[in-house]
Amino acid sequence: MSRRVTLNLGYQGNTRDVTVVIPDDEPTPWQWGERLSVVGKPAPRVDGPLKATGAAHYTYDIELPGMLHGAMLRSPWPHARVRNIDLSAAQHLAGVRAVLALDDREIRFAGQEVAAVAAISSDIAADALKLIKVDYETLPFVVDMDSAAKDSAPRVFGSGSNIGKVKHSSVGDVPKGLEIAANTIEATYTTPVQTHVCLETHGAVASFNAAGDQLTVWCSTQGVFSVRDDLAVYFSLPPDSVRVVCEYLGGGFGSKFGATPEIIVAARLAKTTGVPVKVVLPRADEHRSTGNRPNSEQKVKVGVDHDGKLIAIDLVTRGSGGIGGGAGSAGPFGSVYRCANIRVEESNIYTNAGPSSPMRAPGWPQGCFALELAMDEMARKAGIDRLEFRRRNSDNPVRAAEYDIGARAFGWAEKNEAAKSTGPIKRGVGVASAEWHAVGVSGPEAQVIAHRDGSVEVRVGTQDIGTGTRTVLAIVAAEELGLPVDRVKSEIGDTRFLFSVPSGGSLSAPSNSPAVRQAAAHLKDKLFRIAAPILGAEPNDLEASNETIRVRTNPSRAISFTDVCKRIPGDSISAQGERVPNYAGFRTDQAGCQFAEVEVDTETGIVRVTNVVAVHDAGRIVDPLTARSQVNGGILMGIGFALFEDRRMDPQLGIMVNPTMDDYKLLGALDVPQIDVTFFEVANGITNTGVMGLGEVAHVASTAAVACAVYDAIGLPVRSLPMTPDRVLAALGHA
Amino acid sequence: MKTRKPNAISRRSFIKGAGAVAAAAGLVRVRPASADEKTLPPGVLEKLGPEAATIELNINGKPATLEIEPRVTLLRALREHLGLTGTKLVCDRGACGACTVHLDGKPVTSCMVLAIDARGHQVTTIEGLGTPSNMHPVQAAFVDEDAQQCGFCTPGMVMSVAAALEKNPAATTDEIKHATAGNTCRCGTYPHVFAAALRAVKPGRATRAV
């Protein structure tokens, strides 16, 4: 049933043997120094030509015969009760096929869905929304966190407090630590609400069969199966009667899990009208209503002993996820650096603003910004070099090695020592540490199929949020079968395939790749059974490489993969694989560090990031090319968070004042620094591929590194994000 | 090119932005129209709308006949009337570049151009630049350098880079940064876009097919 294998795991200069028990039908996990032919080689993403030519079909591109266009009416009021909705004028507009009043009569943020229409064109649907008359009883509201936390504040949820459950955790004795510390600092750091700004807004196309008992939904989602399950519950259908498809999606970043309102509405309208209905959100609705990263206010105290070792960390953090919960930033504080006395108090304040949703390493970029800037303030006060201070307080050997690699690539020693210019433009450098734990989960199953024509297909019910999932899965299957990547086609994004988990939490590559490898191994066994009699050998004596199946001990006895496939009795032969639970491997955490260099114009307050060096480990890197894309993206989203992005609410009207892509400031091409990415390979043996996720760990430290560099440049910390010119000038005393 | 008749029926509403005046009045200074000429105000040469009108466009080198209301943007005409869905709508206000097409070889945001104003011009879309089996060198370079993640900004990004290289085949990274300054990529793919542009400028580079 199972077998014990001893694996050599670790990284360059530090490997050890680890014995694990694995199922009999599971391929032996790849070890340190494993010679692989396609895994680890840069490969263009397999669906690149479709994307580069506009041929990739997104939900937004789907057009079905007879399809109607849906649209949703949203409350202009941040807090109200819907007394009455008059749909009649909208219903009578020519071209309108259905009008729905939505169930929730309690409005808690400006932008909440109130009603929906389906019409024969999107113009008519928009016109119909204007004809819906809603009688609102407006109620007192609060959109800023400080006001919401007061006893006298209007309540967001009836009589309940606006202050959510306060989470406390503590190790050691923080007051004592601060008391005996040789040096302490105390400061408050704030970060704004950030919106996801998926370029493809949330959207869905829904279609019921004539009997109304089979639902098909195409939607822009990070989890086809989670949408399926939500819809099955909502419509009281067996899950098998709901099919969810997402071939391509234009960004998610954590905001596209489950059956979000536009998916439900599209399906309800489809059910009512008996024809397919498409709902795609306008940009402003995407900003206001589909999720955001909560803001944070982090009160931090840090103490060090005479040796520059952390002796106390105290964090009181609160934030507001609007009507959603989920604010918090404590993650990095108790984890990245070693400290015996840590106290954390974390709370979420409810406000009448759009709901939060997970966003790329939830809580960590905020927490890392505060922790790392506090580390720099502490190091400066204690008179210790900032990188040395971090080394002294980190006990992760992977991170220590990464500091060395990064510092060398960045030129830390010289840049950190360089004298500041006497002119108005000041250069500065910063370093920040990342951490994540993207080991993936069991659950996914994969199918790998060989066809008589020699082509191979991988099928998994996962989806690609842009990380290159199809490519990674094709590479893993190709490796196992001894094929070039272009002979393998990946089919994903459909609940008709075997189950997989949502693409979030950096789960996709580490959760799916081991299932695909196991399935490919099982398929290989079947092909070996076909090849064995031809080669006059036992199946166990065969191996597959270079598009050939051969006898291991006598490689001249061989048959091409294509010729074996020609002997498949039917049209194809397939095998399944499952993702088994994680083994106790080498390490389950990921370190990583990023170095940033900035120029600050002390006359205008404008910050430019000129250079970033990133060093990351993510177990085994399957495709360094697409992996580098992810790291670039994590860094750039972090720079945008550091310098530009800020959801602004009008406290008088309770509405978002910048729900557009010009007023909500995003990083652009001219803001992009030189970026240098190094991957630090770790053979972790946690799964048969040892692959870990990368999307989040690459984003955790980016904002912090920039903030630390700005501090170095001007000698004063800018403790509030975004570091806009006015904030930089205020820090310099020019306000 | 075959025209799909839109399922929109004629109903008047107003397009926001630059085209508002012309669209609201249904009056366009493009070319003489015979029938109403005498009744038009001085200086106005043509009356169109608010009902759908038949217009001719040149899309990707082929003539296309469309029956559309004057309020319809070039972007929506391409997507909803001609089935050319490679061009994306993202911001709907000329701020993100996802809908970039070429008008007589120059990049324009098609969400800010009325379809009727594209008459008499050569329109090139991402589909006209190349196909998966016969990619334009810029498209091939985007694949080779992985200048794409979710891919939603990619068509607009490709069109901006292709126009910049058409203008200056030896464009520098700095020029490419300026050429793509109006194209937003939320995945943060810019460094690979710059690399792809530089790869595409190399002379004699063969088109990569899949």
In chain B, the domains with their CATH numbers are 17-126 (3.10.20.30), 130-201 (1.10.150.120)
DSSP code at position B101: E
Note the pLDDT of residue B38.
56
Instruction: Categorize the per-residue pLDDT at A159 as very low, low, confident or very high, splitting at 50, 70 and 90.
Output: confident
**B29 Cα to chain A: minimum distance (Å):** 25
CB contact, 8 Å: B124 with chain A? no
Q: Cα separation of A143 and A654, whole Å?
A: 6
Note the pLDDT of residue B206.
43
The residue of chain B with its CA nearest to that of A612 is B191
Which residues fall within 8 angstroms of residue B167, CB to CB, at 6 or more apart? Answer: none
Note the pLDDT of residue B24.
39
A572-578 and A342-348 as β-strands: parallel, antiparallel, unpaired?
Answer: unpaired
- pLDDT of B41 > 90? The answer is no
Binary contact (B91, A250; C-beta < 8 A): no
Chain A residues inside the 8 Å CB shell of B78: none
Higher pLDDT, B12 or A316: A316
- Closest Cβ opposite residue A49 in set B180, B187, B210: B210
Question: pTM for this structure?
Answer: 0.94
Which residues fall within 8 angstroms of residue A695, CB to CB, at 6 or more apart? Answer: A360, A465, A467, A506, A630, A633, A634
**B120 Cα to chain A: minimum distance (Å):** 25
Q: Is A211 exposed, middle or buried (0-12, 13-18, 19+ CB in 10 A)?
A: exposed
Binary contact (B142, A52; C-beta < 8 A): yes
Which token pair is A141? 């509201």
Binary contact (A669, B178; C-beta < 8 A): yes
Q: How would DSSP label each residue in A232-270?
A: HHHTT--GGGEEEE-SB-S--TT---S--HHHHHHHHHH
Binary contact (A282, B155; C-beta < 8 A): no
- pLDDT of A219 > 50? The answer is yes
- pLDDT of B29 > 50? The answer is no
Note the pLDDT of residue B48.
86
Q: Which amino acid is at A653?
A: L
- pLDDT of A253 > 70? The answer is yes
Instruction: Categorize the per-residue pLDDT at B208 as very low, low, confident or very high, splitting at 50, 70 and 90.
Output: very low
CB contact, 8 Å: B17 with chain A? no
Q: Cα separation of A189 and A321, whole Å?
A: 17
For A696-713, write each residue's pLDDT tens digit: 999 999 999 999 999 999
- pLDDT of A263 > 50? The answer is yes
CB contact, 8 Å: B123 with chain A? no
**B39 Cα to chain A: minimum distance (Å):** 30
CB contact, 8 Å: B11 with chain A? yes
Binary contact (A200, B88; C-beta < 8 A): yes
CB contact, 8 Å: B175 with chain A? no
For A470-523, write each residue's pLDDT tens digit: 999 999 999 999 999 999 999 999 999 999 999 999 999 999 999 999 999 999
Q: Cα separation of A572 and B204, whole Å?
A: 42
Residue of A41, A47, A50, A51 best to disrupt the B interface, most CBs of B under 10 A? A51
CB contact, 8 Å: A626 with chain B? yes
CB contact, 8 Å: B90 with chain A? yes
Note the pLDDT of residue A722.
98
CB contact, 8 Å: A302 with chain B? no
Instruction: Categorize the per-residue pLDDT at A321 as very low, low, confident or very high, splitting at 50, 70 and 90.
Output: very high
Note the pLDDT of residue A150.
96
Q: Cα separation of B101 and A541, whole Å?
A: 58
Q: Which amino acid is at A324?
A: G
Binary contact (B188, A633; C-beta < 8 A): yes
Q: Which CATH architecture has domain A440-578?
A: 2-Layer Sandwich (3.30)
Considering only A99-113, A149-163, B13-27, B113-127, which range has the smallest mean pLDDT? B13-27
What is the spatial order of strands in the sheet that A68-74 belongs to?
A: A96-101, A113-119, A68-74, A277-280, A203-208, A215-219, A242-245
For A526-539, write each residue's pLDDT tens digit: 999 999 999 999 99
Chain B residues inside the 8 Å CB shell of A672: 177, 190-191, 194
Binary contact (A632, B188; C-beta < 8 A): yes
- Mean pLDDT within A143-152: 96
Identify which of A546, A732, A721, A531 has the alpha carbon closest to the alpha carbon of residue A642: A721
CATH of A396-438+587-731, one of 1.10.287.610, 1.10.240.10, 3.30.365.10, 3.40.50.920: 3.30.365.10
Which token pair is A626? 């697409």
Window 647-666 of A, Cβ < 8 Å to B: 660-662, 666
> Is the reported ipTM for this assembly greater than 0.95?
yes
If DSSP codes are grouped into helix, strand and coil, which group holds residue A9?
strand
Q: Cα separation of A278 and A291, whole Å?
A: 21
Q: How would DSSP label each residue in A560-572?
A: EHHHHHHT-SSSE
- Mean pLDDT within A434-441: 97
Which residues fall within 8 angstroms of residue A419, CB to CB, at 6 or more apart? Answer: none
Binary contact (A251, B187; C-beta < 8 A): yes
Which token pair is A18? 């680890």
Average pLDDT value for chain A: 97
- Closest Cβ opposite residue B6 in set A53, A55, A121: A121
Which residues fall within 8 angstroms of residue A663, CB to CB, at 6 or more apart? Answer: A657
How does A378-389 read in b/e, with b if 16+ C-beta sit within 10 Å? bbbebebbbbeb
CB contact, 8 Å: A636 with chain B? yes
- pLDDT of B16 > 70? The answer is no
Residue with tokens 């006298």: A152
- Closest Cβ opposite residue B143 in set A52, A127, A662: A52
Chain A residues inside the 8 Å CB shell of B189: 629, 632-633
For B133-172, write each residue's pLDDT tens digit: 999 999 999 999 999 999 999 999 999 999 999 999 999 9
- Mean pLDDT within A273-294: 98
- Mean pLDDT within A256-274: 98
Q: Is B181 exposed, middle or buried (0-12, 13-18, 19+ CB in 10 A)?
A: middle
**B130 Cα to chain A: minimum distance (Å):** 6
Which residues fall within 8 angstroms of residue A122, CB to CB, at 6 or more apart? Answer: A69, A71
- Mean pLDDT within A598-615: 98
- Closest Cβ opposite residue B11 in set A124, A628, A666: A124
If DSSP codes are grouped into helix, strand and coil, which group holds residue A398?
helix
For B93-131, write each residue's pLDDT tens digit: 999 999 999 999 999 999 999 999 999 999 999 999 999
For chain A, give every domain's residue range. Answer: 76-151, 396-438+587-731, 440-578
Phi/psi for A72 (5° steps) reads -120, 135
- pLDDT of B33 > 70? The answer is no
Residue of B87, B146, B183 best to disrupt the A interface, most CBs of A under 10 A? B146
Residue of A53, A246, A486, A703 best to disrupt the B interface, most CBs of B under 10 A? A53
Note the pLDDT of residue A687.
98
Instruction: Categorize the per-residue pLDDT at A735 as very low, low, confident or very high, splitting at 50, 70 and 90.
Output: low
Q: 3-state DSSP helix/strand/coil percent for chain B, to nearest 5? A: 35, 15, 50
Q: Cα separation of A382 and A389, whole Å?
A: 9
**B36 Cα to chain A: minimum distance (Å):** 28
Note the pLDDT of residue A727.
98
Which token pair is A41? 């080689």
Note the pLDDT of residue B30.
46
Q: Cα separation of B165 and B201, whole Å?
A: 7
Half-sphere CA count of A161, side-chain side, radius 13 A: 10
For residues A509 and A573, is the Cβ–Cβ distance under 8 A?
Answer: no
Instruction: Categorize the per-residue pLDDT at B44 as very low, low, confident or very high, splitting at 50, 70 and 90.
Output: confident
Chain B residues inside the 8 Å CB shell of A248: 150-151
**A119 Cα to chain B: minimum distance (Å):** 9
**A673 Cα to chain B: minimum distance (Å):** 8
For residues A148 and A323, is the Cβ–Cβ distance under 8 A?
Answer: no
Which token pair is B109? 């945001």
Whether residue A722 has a cis bond before it, omega within 30° of 0? yes
Instruction: Categorize the per-residue pLDDT at A1 as very low, low, confident or very high, splitting at 50, 70 and 90.
Output: confident
Q: In percent, how much of chain A has pLDDT > 90?
A: 98
CATH of A76-151, one of 3.10.129.10, 3.30.70.2190, 3.10.20.30, 3.90.1170.50: 3.90.1170.50
The residue of chain A with its CA nearest to that of B151 is A51
Q: Which amino acid is at A223?
A: G
CB contact, 8 Å: A698 with chain B? no
Chain A residues inside the 8 Å CB shell of B131: 53, 55
- Closest Cβ opposite residue B183 in set A61, A198, A669: A669
At A85, which helix (H) or strand (E)?
strand A80-86
Taking phi over 0 as left and psi of -120 to 50 as alpha, with beta for the rest, A344 belongs to beta
Q: Which amino acid is at A504?
A: G
CB contact, 8 Å: B196 with chain A? no
- Mean pLDDT within A121-126: 94
Which residues fall within 8 angstroms of residue A341, CB to CB, at 6 or more apart? Answer: A171, A172, A173, A174, A176, A177, A311, A312, A313
Chain B residues inside the 8 Å CB shell of A630: 149
Identify which of A177, A394, A391 has the alpha carbon closest to the alpha carbon of residue A305: A177
- Closest Cβ opposite residue A55 in set B86, B181, B191: B86
For A331-371, write each residue's pLDDT tens digit: 999 999 999 999 999 999 999 999 999 999 999 999 999 99
**B208 Cα to chain A: minimum distance (Å):** 9
Chain B residues inside the 8 Å CB shell of A199: 88, 90, 96, 98, 150, 152-153, 184-186
For residues B52 and B62, is the Cβ–Cβ distance under 8 A?
Answer: no
- pLDDT of A38 > 90? The answer is yes
For A88-104, write each residue's pLDDT tens digit: 999 999 999 999 999 88
**B9 Cα to chain A: minimum distance (Å):** 8
- Closest Cβ opposite residue A660 in set B84, B95, B177: B95
Fold matches, A76-151 and A440-578: no
**A252 Cα to chain B: minimum distance (Å):** 9
For A607-634, write each residue's pLDDT tens digit: 999 999 999 999 999 999 999 999 999 9
- Closest Cβ opposite residue A661 in set B91, B143, B176: B91
If DSSP codes are grouped into helix, strand and coil, which group holds residue B138?
helix
At A373, which helix (H) or strand (E)?
helix A364-382
For residues A658 and A723, is the Cβ–Cβ distance under 8 A?
Answer: no
End-to-end, the C-alpha distance of chain A in Å comes to: 71
Which residues fall within 8 angstroms of residue A554, CB to CB, at 6 or more apart? Answer: none
Note the pLDDT of residue B201.
82
Average pLDDT value for chain B: 84
Note the pLDDT of residue A26.
98
End-to-end, the C-alpha distance of chain B in Å comes to: 26
- Mean pLDDT within A564-578: 97
Window 28-47 of B, Cβ < 8 Å to A: none
Question: How many interface pairs between A and B have CB atoms less than 8 angstroms apart?
Answer: 193
Instruction: Categorize the per-residue pLDDT at A392 as very low, low, confident or very high, splitting at 50, 70 and 90.
Output: very high
- Mean pLDDT within B180-204: 91
